[in-house]
Amino acid sequence: MDTILEKSSERSRSVLFGLLISCLFSEEAKNKCPLSRFRNNLSIEEKYDLALELSEEEINTVLEKHEKCFEMRLFASV
């Protein structure tokens, strides 16, 4: 299975926008998630604008953190 980072940059922006809207583990990770303050405080339009404004490097950094968090929480729930 490909990681998120192996996808195209447009796909990565779409994934980021989706994570700005919601995350399966948002409650469990709310104090550690770098997106929680954006998820909780921005309108949908502002989230969309943020996803478009970030550089590929910034998006990749956020998605790397998300993948590590997701794996950790997924394994913890098994």
* The predicted structure's pLDDT at residue 29: 66
Of residues 18, 36, 68, the one with CA closest to residue 76: 68
Q: What is the value of pTM for the model shown?
A: 0.76
- Segment-wise mean pLDDT, segments of 10 residues, the chain, 78 residues: 54 92 75 83 94 93 89 77
- Tell me the C-alpha distance between 40 and 33, whole Å: 11
* The predicted structure's pLDDT at residue 30: 65
* The predicted structure's pLDDT at residue 1: 42
- Per domain, the residue ranges of the chain are 8-76
* The predicted structure's pLDDT at residue 15: 93
